[in-house]
Amino acid sequence: MTFLAWSLVAVLVLFSMLWVVSLVVRDASIVDRFWGIAFIVIASYVSAATDGFPKRAHLVLLLTALWGVRLSVYITARNLGEAEDYRYRAMRRQWGSSFPLASLGTVFLLQGFLAWVVSLPVQVAVASVHPLHLTYTDYLGAIVWAAGFLIESVADVQLASFRGNPRNQGRVMKTGLWRYSRHPNYFGDALLWWGLWLIALSVGGWWTAIGPAVMTLLLLRVSGVAMLERKLRRSRPGYDDYVQSTSAFVPMPPRPSRQGRDPRSAPARAATRRG
């Protein structure tokens, strides 16, 4: 599988070029805007370098391109005219004058490597010749991908609409999909990558589960839920109550919040009797 080695080289070259651009514009945030595009580059390179089954290769290329373009356009539009993301500003303060060089490894090459790992199901599915037909697992994977893509897209649109209303300044988003999950966009993102893994599974790429597993870990424990919630707990009054009532990731029916809990509930009545 030499195509895997060469695709890694290609994506690291791409992110090195982005690093040079970031030095010119003094904004490391551009790496986020090109995150989705990187997957399209990887998938396109593998498609050009291998002779996989055309129908499966075209399907995976289409799904990857739809996800990558939508994500990059959304992030670019959301951050248009904004200052560098707070995460990279914090790194600049930490690293000082050595940040430009440090960012090459800790931001750009690291994200390039992670994109390569996450995209393993895409690469294997695109490159594989057999089976020479689409299987039920391919179709199931496409359905799971579509569900994840829809959830992620709708959640992003709902959040953008909420943020765009000045009356919601400083308030917590609790409507739409956000009533059932504190991060439905991240859940949709993870789900669609497991859908792509199912397509890779149809060609024997069971081991590429490392890709969506890493993506899910990143969304839950690294740059997604964990990091964002630390910020929101500090900046959003009532967010702790939202945490108590709403699932962090997988959409679930909301639980009664502490604010909405009836004082005549069983624990309260028991305490009254004890008093």
Q: Which residues 6+ apart lie within 8 Å of 94 measured at CB?
A: none
Question: Which residue has 């600049």 as its token pair?
Answer: 92
Q: What share of the chain is helix, strand, coil (3-state, %, to 5)?
A: 75, 0, 25
For residue 71, give the amino acid letter: L
Residues 2-27 have pLDDT tens digits of 999 999 999 999 999 999 999 999 99
Structural tokens at position 73: 């356009």
DSSP state of 174: -
Rounded-to-integer distance, Cα 247 and Cα 183, Å: 8
Residues 105-164 have pLDDT tens digits of 999 999 999 999 999 999 999 999 999 999 999 999 999 999 999 999 999 999 999 988
Whether residue 103 is predicted with pLDDT greater than 90 in this model: the reply is yes
Q: What angle do CA 236, 237, 240 make, to 5 degrees?
A: 90
Q: CA-CA distances (angstroms) from residue 143 to 71, 120, 140, 147?
A: 19, 19, 5, 6
Minimum mean pLDDT range among 19-33, 67-81, 139-153, 260-274: 260-274
Structural tokens at position 252: 């679930």
Give pTM, 2 decimals: 0.89
